[in-house]
Structure 1
Amino acid sequence: MTDSDIRFYLSILIGRLPYIFSIALVVAGLGITVAYLMPTVYGASAKILVEPPQIPAEMAKPTVHIPPLEQLQIIQEEITTRENLLELARRLDIFGDAAEKLTEGEIVENLRKRTILQLVPTEREGATIFSVSFQARDPKLSAQVVNELVSIILAKNAGMRASKAGDTLEFFEKEVARLADELARQEEAVLEFRNANIHALPDSLDFRRAQLSNQQERLLLLEREESSLRVRRTNLVRVFETTGQVAGTGPLSLEQEMLRDLKRSLAEQLAIFSEGSPKIVALRGRIDSLQREVQASQDTKQAAGGVSELDLQLSDIDERLSFIEREKAAIKENLDVLAKTIEVTPQNETSLNALERHRDNIQEQYNKAVAKLAEASTGEQIELRAKAGRFTLVEPAIPPESRLSPNRRKIAGIGVAMGIFLGFGAIAGLELMNRTVRRPADLVPLVEEPLLGTIPYIWNPGEKEARKRKLSISLATLVCAVAIAGAALYHYRPPLAIAFENLIESIDRNSLM
């Protein structure tokens, strides 16, 4: 770009300055008008502190453990429900006569947009503070709504903590009652099992094994006694058949003593002489003769005396043998029962251990539930007496003295900047579309031969002055129009502001305040 080009563009800029000024003045005026007519919005706020528990957790643990941010979110969701917001709007008459123009959905959406709950950054570590703010055209209404919201939040916080503590206590009360019933049923099941298997329980296994061993020894003794009695009975019968008397039944008669001596002598002689010896034959003859006499004597005594001594002893032996048979049968039956109970004892032990283990588990759960119930009861008392963490109002809302919006200076400055930008943009666009020949360089593309020289446009004596006068009149008219519009805006601001507000509200119903 040459010096001639720079001078050319500067001349165009200087020549277009009135147009730039006119566009910038109009746009800036519109921006200032919008900033001046925009409705004023006030925002009142209150601060709520989340207090830590007043009782150390080592002494008594609270039953409600909800982080402050979660509490804030829960309460925000509760107070911004449709029913609560409609009730708040009716009770405080937030919209006034404009409420008739709005549907319930628009009222709810409007209030949700204007209500703000947020955490407040603090320098002290551990402190949690959040603010509640509300936007309105009336500063008193804004403060009134915020204080009402704060009251609702504090009440809901206390109610929520008390309700959760009560719910926790009620849950553990039901849990303790349920576990107590279940423990009683399990105790009854264990008792029924013990009663049903009282003779086959593991705690009496050693006793039953010792009893089994004793019964087996007793059976062995009885069998030995039975064998001994049967041998004795056989001996009694054989002795009686041989001697004609019962062994050990009183003093022997003369014939019996002689018979005994002869038998002893026969036994001695047999050791010396043979069986066919005359002496031996003579001894046997005398023995046979004495045996016949003794037998005859026994028969005579038996016929005269009734029951013999042999019959008495055999009767005693038979009674004892009968008793032994009955005792052996009872012992064998008892041994069968003991063997069966010992055999099923391991299975019973497994079943009993399962029942008792289940009972112990229920007992452990019951003990823990009772401990938790005590903690829940203490926690409920802490919540009811407001000794746990709670919300406390540290800074109530007061009617604000300064507006929250709009920032009129910022809006006016943006309007002026936009005016200047649009002025330069409009001129730049017009120049780019203008194909008028205004310098020799613009003729070169239009002719085929090289230019020898150019003659500039020659103004008539009155033409330049008339052009300047026309431009001055236009600028003066524009300035006067802007001044008149500014004066009218200042004088008729209230009705104009209302009209502008109605226009905004007709475009966006949520902007109604």
Structure 2
Amino acid sequence: MLGNFDIKYAWAVFKRRMPYFLVITTLFAAVATTIAYVLPPVYQSSASLLVEPQQISDTTVAAPVNPYEQIQIIEQRLMTRANLYDMAGRIGLYADQPDLSAGEIIGDMKTRIEFIGFQPDPTTKPGEPGATIIGVNFFAPTPPLATKGANELVSIILQENTRMRTDRASDTLDFFKGEVTRLTGEIETQSKKIADFKTANIQALPDSQDSRRAQQERGQQRLLDLDREEASLKSQRASIVWVFERTGRASANMALSPEEEELQTLQSQLLQQQAIYKSTSPQIRVLQTRIAALKQLVEQQQADRAVPSADGTAGKPLSELDVELAPLDQRLGDIAAERGLLEKQLADLDTAQQATPQNEMVLNDLERQLQSLQTQYTNAVSSLGQAQQGEKIEVMSKGQRFTLIEAPFDRNVPVSPQRVLISAAGLVGGLGAALGFVVLWEMLNRSIRRPVELSQRLGIQPIITIPYIRTAGERRWRRWAVVGAMLLIIVAIPVILLMIHTYYEPLDQLIPGLG
């Protein structure tokens, strides 16, 4: 360990270790310089593409393709193995290296392509809108190859941009055409379902529910009227029967034929004459004869009014009661028939009314589906119109597109390696390593080299100290050894690295990331 720090002593120690310092520094500098000048030059060729805005106002119709998505998709497609391998073949970058495998070629190609992406317009101030620029770089061992590679990149980007814009616009148009056709068919099918349902349930639809309810009310009122009329007719019939049973006549006011009136008159006279005369009296006999003749005539008239029987023969003559009750019975029969018809109609209406809520639910569901389809159809038609305009924009090249504004050109100055920087880094690294080596050596050196160290370690005070004095020959030998070592390093290290680079494997491939 060094004692109290002494600048003169430290400088003396440093001068003693100077040969090691110089050798280490020279070694690092030689290696760095050799590597810097052995590495092959890399040339860069760049191109700039402008994203042109849509030439038709986007408030009218928007182009269907986003340029920011396009460049990302194009980059991913370009960096696929097949595209990189084909591109390398077109450029001829590895024509002098036929032994390279496809994997090595693809891996190297990925390191040579650089997408700068979207850059702001350099002519505008920060925060102000400006043009959007895309930059691409290609790196190659010669300027012509770099330019050729950059041109390939530009061609692929422009071709893919055109293809993507037109294809996506066409695909969008085809999709919405299919949607409109599909929705048209579904709307027709749904409309037919609704029409068939209404036809099958025409008597139980919700829109005619009020009409059916009114019919029910009218039918029920008519039933009440028929019941009242029937009750009245039955009461009237019972009265007629009651009168007939007690008087022998269906009605006191019943109209009689002239013969019947004359017969009643003669019968009354006969009763009066019998009270005066004997039964053998000529007056009595005359009245009886006339009464008998009139009875035959009345009976003949009643026979003419008789209803024929089922076999066509003359039926039983209608009595006064039958004649009086016939219209009543006919009307009662009509009432019964009408009541049956009304009851059937009311039953049908009641069944329809009970089925109406379920039919309404089904019909509403069908109509909601139809409305949903019509909404989708309206949106699809609107989108189809926009897609047609978008396709027209892309076909006419009026939408957003990429345009080459700065073509690739040959640059005769390589962008790498940075030879001066590498050499300077090697020199600085050598100085640091050499200084660290000297400091570490002295920290680990336990030998006694000063009188003060002798006193501190042995506890004695020396009278005088005599340093070791080298002879002139020893000094010359030491100087030549240092110079020889430095010359050996300066010559041997570059030669060794050059031989490795030339005959074994290039240093930029042997040490990844060195280039």
Percentage of pairs with the same residue: 33
How far is 1:323 from its partner? 2.5
Q: Who is 1:72 aligned against?
A: 71
How far is 1:433 from its partner? 4.3
Distance 1:427 1:344, change over 3 A: closer
Distance 1:14 1:504, change over 3 A: closer
Q: Contact 1:86/1:107 (CA < 8 Å) preserved in 2?
A: yes
Q: Contact 2:120/2:130 (CA < 8 Å) preserved in 1?
A: no
Q: Contact 1:162/1:383 (CA < 8 Å) preserved in 2?
A: yes
Equivalences for 1:51-450 in 2 at 5 Å? 51-64=52-65, 66=66, 68=68, 70-98=69-97, 100-119=98-117, 120-123=119-122, 124=124, 125-237=129-241, 242=247, 244=249, 247-249=253-255, 253=261, 300-305=296-301, 306=303, 307=305, 310=320, 311-445=322-456, 447-448=458-459, 450=460
Q: Who is 1:10 aligned against?
A: 11
Q: Who is 1:499 aligned against?
A: 502
How far is 1:235 from its partner? 4.6
Q: Contact 1:38/1:501 (CA < 8 Å) preserved in 2?
A: no
Counterpart of 1:302 in structure 2: which amino acid?
A: V
Q: Contact 1:165/1:380 (CA < 8 Å) preserved in 2?
A: yes
Counterpart of 1:507 in structure 2: which amino acid?
A: L
| Pair 1:466-2:466 in alignment | no
Distance in 1 between residues matched to 2:290 and 2:368, nearest whole Å: 83
Distance 1:77 1:430, change over 3 A: same
Distance 1:8 1:238, change over 3 A: closer
Counterpart of 2:510 in structure 1: which amino acid?
A: I
How far is 1:96 from its partner? 1.2
How far is 1:89 from its partner? 1.3
Equivalences for 1:453-492 in 2 at 5 Å? 453-457=463-467, 459=469, 464-474=471-481
Q: Contact 1:200/1:342 (CA < 8 Å) preserved in 2?
A: yes
How far is 1:184 from its partner? 2.0
How far is 1:465 from its partner? 3.0
Distance in 1 between residues matched to 2:293 and 2:503, nearest whole Å: 163
Counterpart of 2:438 in structure 1: which amino acid?
A: I
Distance 1:237 1:22, change over 3 A: closer
Distance in 2 between residues matched to 1:24 and 1:51, nearest whole Å: 56
Counterpart of 2:299 in structure 1: which amino acid?
A: A
Distance 1:162 1:511, change over 3 A: farther
Distance 1:453 1:251, change over 3 A: same
Q: Contact 2:165/2:394 (CA < 8 Å) preserved in 1?
A: yes
Equivalent pairs, count: 469
How far is 1:12 from its partner? 2.3
Distance 1:372 1:359, change over 3 A: same
Counterpart of 1:112 in structure 2: which amino acid?
A: K
Counterpart of 1:304 in structure 2: which amino acid?
A: Q
How far is 1:77 from its partner? 0.9
Matched position secondary structure for 1:443: helix
How far is 1:136 from its partner? 0.8
Distance in 2 between residues matched to 1:483 and 1:506, nearest whole Å: 24
How far is 1:23 from its partner? 3.9
Superposed CA RMSD = 3.7
How far is 1:354 from its partner? 2.0
Counterpart of 1:393 in structure 2: which amino acid?
A: L
Q: Contact 1:39/1:137 (CA < 8 Å) preserved in 2?
A: yes
How far is 1:377 from its partner? 1.9
Q: Contact 2:48/2:135 (CA < 8 Å) preserved in 1?
A: yes
Distance 1:332 1:91, change over 3 A: same
Matched position secondary structure for 2:399: coil
Distance in 2 between residues matched to 1:422 and 1:133, nearest whole Å: 38
Distance in 1 between residues matched to 2:291 and 2:62, nearest whole Å: 110
Counterpart of 2:431 in structure 1: which amino acid?
A: I
Q: Who is 1:269 aligned against?
A: none
How far is 1:127 from its partner? 2.8
How far is 1:194 from its partner? 0.8
Distance 1:497 1:149, change over 3 A: farther
Distance 1:510 1:24, change over 3 A: closer
Distance 1:424 1:240, change over 3 A: closer
Distance 1:511 1:159, change over 3 A: farther
Matched position secondary structure for 1:451: coil
Distance 1:97 1:314, change over 3 A: same
Distance 1:230 1:94, change over 3 A: same
Matched position secondary structure for 1:45: strand
Which stretch shifts more, 301-310 or 497-506? Answer: 497-506
Matched position secondary structure for 1:182: helix
Distance 1:109 1:298, change over 3 A: farther
Distance in 1 between residues matched to 2:223 and 2:369, nearest whole Å: 43
How far is 1:436 from its partner? 4.2
Distance in 2 between residues matched to 1:413 and 1:421, nearest whole Å: 12
Structure 2 gap ranges (5+): 269-287, 306-317
Q: Contact 1:39/1:501 (CA < 8 Å) preserved in 2?
A: no
Matched position secondary structure for 1:387: coil
Q: Who is 1:274 aligned against?
A: none
Distance in 2 between residues matched to 1:328 and 1:425, nearest whole Å: 127
Matched position secondary structure for 1:142: helix
Matched position secondary structure for 2:44: strand
How far is 1:248 from its partner? 4.1
Q: Deviations over 1:321-352 (max 9, x none)?
A: 32332222112211221222223223322222
Structure 1 gap ranges (5+): 261-291
